[in-house]
């Protein structure tokens, strides 16, 4: 597989990963970098990924052939929970080989693959494997989504420590301005703090602001 797959994770379920993923894919495509998004494991859906739907709306493109083939949504579970619990309730294990094959196919067809995870870095996939462990095992560079909501500095710095401990390459931090707030005091201070922290401890990591995005009809944050 080409070294063109980036894993997208964040501080928690409501960090805005789906919006940030769709936004980044749109920007890279505009700049001539052919980018496709893939949902690592979708929970809370049946037969289709609502996060992929949202990506395409934000990217302003129709469903791709890869969407129709199921390559961008290889594993879907019906219950809205961690992949561990969702797979247990659906009474079937996660097929990691199927996911890997789909990612490899997308990697060959596109310049870049943005592989969006479920929930935050520490979400369990099995009783022995966390999302962050999967990222480290596959040696994917990480695009990390955070925001300026109250408490996000704590979640972000704890995540940075876990990333360093496992030797994961922190490629980019996406600072999501969702949800919209009238008092931007905390939001602006948090952004400045995280930027300074990255300059000191992750000097090679890029920092990008995800602007407030007009939500598509029936759009759902995740």
What is the set of active-site residues?
39
Going by the DSSP 8-state scheme, the letter that residue 54 receives in this structure is H
Distance CA 10, CA 121 (A): 6
Going by the DSSP 8-state scheme, the letter that residue 130 receives in this structure is B
Distance CA 149, CA 15 (A): 9
The contacts of residue 52 (CB under 8 Å, 6+ apart) are: 37, 38, 39, 42, 67, 72, 73
CB 120 within 8 A of CB 15: yes
What H or E segment, with its residue span, contains residue 6?
strand 5-10
Distance CA 53, CA 116 (A): 13
Region label for 94, one of left (φ > 0), alpha (ψ between -120 and 50) or beta (otherwise):
beta
Strands (E), 17-155: 35-39, 42-43, 76-77, 112-116, 142-147
CB 148 within 8 A of CB 40: no
């Amino acid at each position: 597989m080409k070294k063109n797959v980036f894993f997208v994770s964040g501080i928690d379920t409501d960090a805005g990963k789906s919006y940030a993923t769709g936004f980044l894919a749109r920007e890279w495509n505009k700049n001539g970098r052919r980018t496709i998004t893939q949902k690592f494991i979708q929970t809370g859906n049946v037969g289709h990924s609502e996060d992929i739907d949202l990506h395409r709306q934000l990217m302003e493109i129709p469903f791709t052939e890869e969407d129709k083939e199921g390559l961008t949504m290889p594993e879907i579970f019906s219950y809205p929970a961690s992949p561990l619990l969702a797979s247990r309730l659906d009474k079937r294990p996660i097929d990691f080989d199927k996911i890997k094959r789909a990612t490899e196919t997308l990697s060959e067809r596109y310049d870049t693959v943005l592989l969006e995870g479920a929930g935050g870095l520490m979400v369990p996939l099995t009783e022995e494997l966390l999302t962050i462990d999967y990222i480290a095992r596959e040696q994917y560079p990480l695009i990390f989504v955070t925001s300026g909501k109250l408490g996000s500095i704590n979640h972000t710095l704890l995540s940075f420590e876990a990333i360093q401990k496992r030797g994961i390459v922190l490629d980019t931090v996406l600072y999501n301005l969702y949800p919209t707030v009238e008092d931007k005091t905390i939001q602006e201070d948090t952004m400045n703090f995280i930027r300074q922290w990255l300059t000191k401890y992750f000097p090679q990591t890029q920092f990008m602001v995800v602007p407030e995005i007009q939500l598509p009809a029936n759009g759902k944050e995740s």
